[in-house]
Chains A and B, each alone.
Chain A
Amino acid sequence: TSEQIEHLHRRFKQLSQDQLTIRKENFDSIPDLEFNPIRGKIVHAFFDKRNLRQEPDGLAEEITFEDFLTIMSYFRPIEMNMDEEQLDRLRKEKLKFLFHMYDSDHDGKITLQEYRNVVEELLSGNPHLEKESARSIADGAMMEAASICVGQMGPDQVYEGITFEDFLKMWQGIDIETKMHVRFLNVDTIAHCY
């Protein structure tokens, strides 16, 4: 609905201090984001070109309101009248967004190091932890992922990293489309934009 776009537009203006584009620094002005352990990744995701559907790689310097809306559209909730294909597409889109957040070096795979980064960041809110526990959790998770995706592996094979297909497999049990949404975004914002 148009009020929601209004609201987002106002917010955008607030963040960008009345300029046309937002840069990374503007995000620092949000106080609550301080507490968020993965704020780096979130902010990064806004500028990730892959999410902005512009190029397969790279980082944008600044984003416009349309880009802002593009990112927000990933958090659309599902509608009752969507058919299977649309649902599947939406699901894939959301998962791709998540995937890009994990895959920080843009090579299409989540390697062990990247996964470790993710876990470390998740636990970074807690100053008493040392790196080793994060590492072992990440290792454990990686091994689980490998065993889900590839099954039995001999001792010589090396599992490169989680590709997007494997990622999809891992998320199969969880209904991402029901979980990954922000409550008030229930319209196809992109369509209204252009």
Chain B
Amino acid sequence: SVSSIVPESCLLIVVGLLVGGLIKGVGEKPPILKSDIFFLFLLPPIILDAGYFLPLRPFTENLGTILIFAVVGTLWNAFFLGGLMYAVCQLGGPGLNHIGLLANLLFGSIISAVDPVAVLAVFEEIHINELLHILVFGESLLNDAVTVVLYHLFEEFASFEQVTILDIILGFLSFFVVSLGGVLVGVIYGVIAAFTSRFTSHIRVIEPLFVFLYSYMAYLSAELFHLSGIMALIAAGVVMRPYVEANISHKSHTTIKYFLKMWSSVSETLIFIFLGVSTVAGHHYWNWTFVISTLFFCLIARVLGVLVLTWFINKFRIVKLTPKDQFIIAYGGLRGAIAFSLGYLLDYEHFDMRDMFLTAIITVIFFTVFVQGMTIRPLVDLLAVKKKQETKRSINEEIHTQFLDHLLTGIEDICGHYGHHHWKDKLNRFNKKYVKKCLIAGERSKEPQLIAFYHKMEMKQAIELVESGGIGKIPSAVSTVSIQNINPQTLPLERVLPALSKDKEEEIRKILRTNLQKTRQRLRSYNRHTLVADPYEEAWNQMLLRRQKARQLEQKMNNYLTVPAHRVDSPTMSRARIGSDPLAYEPKEDSENLPIITIDPASPQSPESVDLMSEEPKGCSGLPPSPEEDEEGLVMRVKEPSSPGTDDVFTPGTSDSPSNQRMLRCLSDPGPRPEPEEGEPFIPKGQ
């Protein structure tokens, strides 16, 4: 099919060409990609999307390499190309002779930057391994600083009469100012955003807005001072992400994710289409020598640059870059719309060969996107480059990675060597001690990473389970390994139970029933200031709450009976527990929204997750405000009160389902008569 051969970006450009041609054919003037629109509206979403979801671990591990490629590589490209083009111009005959060195250098700096939009568009589809992806992509992001500096530098110099050494040194310094300044601006805004998100627990609806706003402001502020806006945006996204994600609700997180993806998608599409239209619409000046030599030297510069730099970098890398990798990196140096917009920004006054430049730029863009973009996929297959491994992050991996981190840090300490792990560990500790306390709301600031990861996984599994149609169906992907398999306990054959009289049991059931009915009848408000629980969520919450209760009651029972805990238990026992301890259960009248079945706070294992289930914790009286870890241990700390499925008593397995099925059936039965199976003895059958 076409889409497997031709990358999407190519198709979009073709569409743009067609549209442009159409408009021109009708006689209207087609719109050109104005640089303003591009830099202010089209580019930021893409960069923010990239920065916010940047995989931080591989990025920081390869940061040195990426920086060298971005800075040194781009510089080399610019100067090499500029210089060569100047030579060509001098030799190129009358049409080109008047183009000065500076103009050529400027042209070189415009065209030498690898473009993140193009790289994203093409690399997304070919799924190469993470290392290569992050190398090329990181380079394309970080070379913006270099491009900005060089561009402004040469543009200014072109209007000078003379360029002194002082100017050059100042230019060199300005590079540091631009890049570090951009990063600083981004970090500041990121911290502010994280801090803001700490207080948004009552205005969940506009949480995503803060993320977008602050990031955009970071970008604009940086651009205002001629600092690198892209780096500011990336820095802001990277800095704010861990803290914001810990603070915001699950729904807000989803919103952010989808909005970012949507906007960046739209932007990307628009950019490519506009490129196509601008090609048709723009004034062109085709000069064979110039264009062809540009193309040729671009490629050569890139290849040479990558080769030399890799040779240099490999001395410092543990995981060396193989020639295959080098080829992909060189081949992946795509140019894109940034180059075009920068070229468009040149004014005619100083650069009368602007049209020629633009033509050459467009040619290079087309070449890289079409030829390189299309052929990279078969080349990747041909060279058998390692592809991205589609493994899901598993708990084991996380544990092992953390273990390994600590181990390596320890070994480094033993050796007395202050290596990477040492500093990373120090940074982590600093983060945990000071930063997290400031920026993350409430209890979550103390949550270690492993737990957070575990919770995320549990939540995912819970959601999967719900989507697969409720507890009845076990998703086939989940193996049938259950807790029994790894932790066989002797089945307790008999337990001594407090005897329950029939009418006490009746009482219990009535209480349960009335409360459940109450929750069903609760009115839902349609006020947007209070998030509404839809019936699906409601049922889900109820089910989870029931499980929750069952577990706690079982826990209490176990404490009572000092029998080794048997995780899967029959519901009858749980209900017996309710009856025997009248304080244990007390239906609460609740505030507006979510159904809650509360348990008396006097009991030691109050479910704090139940507490957090409500929108307004203060509204529900009587629950202990401070969440403490339930002894059961499987209770999740929830990120956000009103999101569904956050309460969790899942074991990551399906061993609960039969018992809970029974439980549900029993409890949801509104009938007054005891069902036959409730006459079941309070001799628990082991599962």
Question: Chain A residues in contact with chain B, CB under 8 A?
Answer: 7-8, 11, 14-15, 27, 30, 32-33, 35-39, 41-42, 46, 72, 75, 77-78, 80, 98, 101, 112, 118-119, 122-123, 125-126, 128-137, 139-148, 150-159, 170-171, 173-174, 178-184, 186
- At the interface, yes or no: B483 with Cβ under 8 Å from chain A? yes
Q: A129, B448: Cβ atoms under 8 Å?
A: yes
Q: B429, A122: Cβ atoms under 8 Å?
A: no
**Interfacial chain A residues near B485, Cβ < 8 Å:** 143, 146, 153, 155, 157-159
**Interfacial chain A residues near B448, Cβ < 8 Å:** 123, 125-126, 129
**Interfacial chain A residues near B633, Cβ < 8 Å:** 130-136
User: Which residue from B389, B408, B416 sits with its C-beta under 8 Å from A173?
Assistant: B389
A139 to B486, CA, bound (A): 8
CB contacts under 8 Å to A, within B426-459, are: 429, 446, 448, 450-451, 454, 457
CB contacts under 8 Å to A, within B632-649, are: 632-634
User: Which residue from B402, B412, B652 sits with its C-beta under 8 Å from A182?
Assistant: B412
Q: Which residue of B lies closest to A102 (CB)?
A: B403
With A131-B633, A173-B391 as known contacts, state yes or no: A184 contacts B419, CB within 8 Å: yes
Q: Which residue of B lies closest to A41 (CB)?
A: B407
**Interfacial chain A residues near B450, Cβ < 8 Å:** 119, 122-123, 137
Instruction: Classify the interface of chain B: helix, strand, loop or mixed.
Output: helix
Top 7 A-B residue pairs of the complex, sorted by shortest distance between their CB atoms: A132-B633, A147-B479, A42-B410, A140-B652, A32-B413, A141-B395, A130-B629
Q: A101, B451: Cβ atoms under 8 Å?
A: no
A76 to B389, CA, bound (A): 25
Q: B486, A158: Cβ atoms under 8 Å?
A: yes
Q: B399, A118: Cβ atoms under 8 Å?
A: yes
Q: Which residue of A lies closest to B451 (CB)?
A: A133
B569 → chain A, closest Cβ, in Å?
15
With A132-B631, A137-B451 as known contacts, state yes or no: A143 contacts B413, CB within 8 Å: no
**Interfacial chain A residues near B320, Cβ < 8 Å:** 80
A134 to B630, CA, bound (A): 12
**Interfacial chain B residues near A142, Cβ < 8 Å:** 486
With A132-B634, A158-B486, A173-B389 as known contacts, state yes or no: A143 contacts B481, CB within 8 Å: yes
Can you spell out 5 A-B residue pairs with CB atoms less than 8 angstroms apart? Answer: A112-B486, A129-B448, A143-B485, A144-B395, A153-B485
**Interfacial chain A residues near B483, Cβ < 8 Å:** 139, 143
**Interfacial chain A residues near B661, Cβ < 8 Å:** none
A7 to B401, CA, bound (A): 28
- At the interface, yes or no: B503 with Cβ under 8 Å from chain A? no
B657 → chain A, closest Cβ, in Å?
13
A60 → chain B, closest Cβ, in Å?
16
**Interfacial chain B residues near A135, Cβ < 8 Å:** 633
Question: Chain B residues in contact with chain A, CB under 8 A?
Answer: 318-320, 389, 391, 394-397, 399-404, 406-417, 419-420, 422, 425, 429, 446, 448, 450-451, 454, 457, 478-488, 629-634, 651-653
Q: A152, B479: Cβ atoms under 8 Å?
A: yes
Q: B410, A39: Cβ atoms under 8 Å?
A: yes
**Interfacial chain A residues near B411, Cβ < 8 Å:** 42, 72, 75, 182
A35 to B451, CA, bound (A): 19
With A30-B414, A126-B446 as known contacts, state yes or no: A141 contacts B451, CB within 8 Å: no
A103 → chain B, closest Cβ, in Å?
13
A37 → chain B, closest Cβ, in Å?
6
User: Which residue from B400, B406, B446 sits with its C-beta under 8 Å from A36?
Assistant: B406
User: Which residue from A154, A179, A186 sits with its C-beta under 8 Å from B404?
Assistant: A179
**Interfacial chain A residues near B419, Cβ < 8 Å:** 182-184
Q: Which residue of B lies closest to A135 (CB)?
A: B633
User: Which residue from B410, B481, B482 sits with its C-beta under 8 Å from A150?
Assistant: B481
**Interfacial chain B residues near A146, Cβ < 8 Å:** 479, 481, 485-486
Q: Which residue of A lies closest to B478 (CB)?
A: A147
**Interfacial chain B residues near A141, Cβ < 8 Å:** 394-396, 399
B427 → chain A, closest Cβ, in Å?
13
A91 to B228, CA, bound (A): 43
B352 → chain A, closest Cβ, in Å?
52
With A42-B410, A42-B411, A122-B403 as known contacts, state yes or no: A155 contacts B632, CB within 8 Å: no
A101 to B412, CA, bound (A): 17
A44 → chain B, closest Cβ, in Å?
11
**Interfacial chain B residues near A7, Cβ < 8 Å:** 415, 417
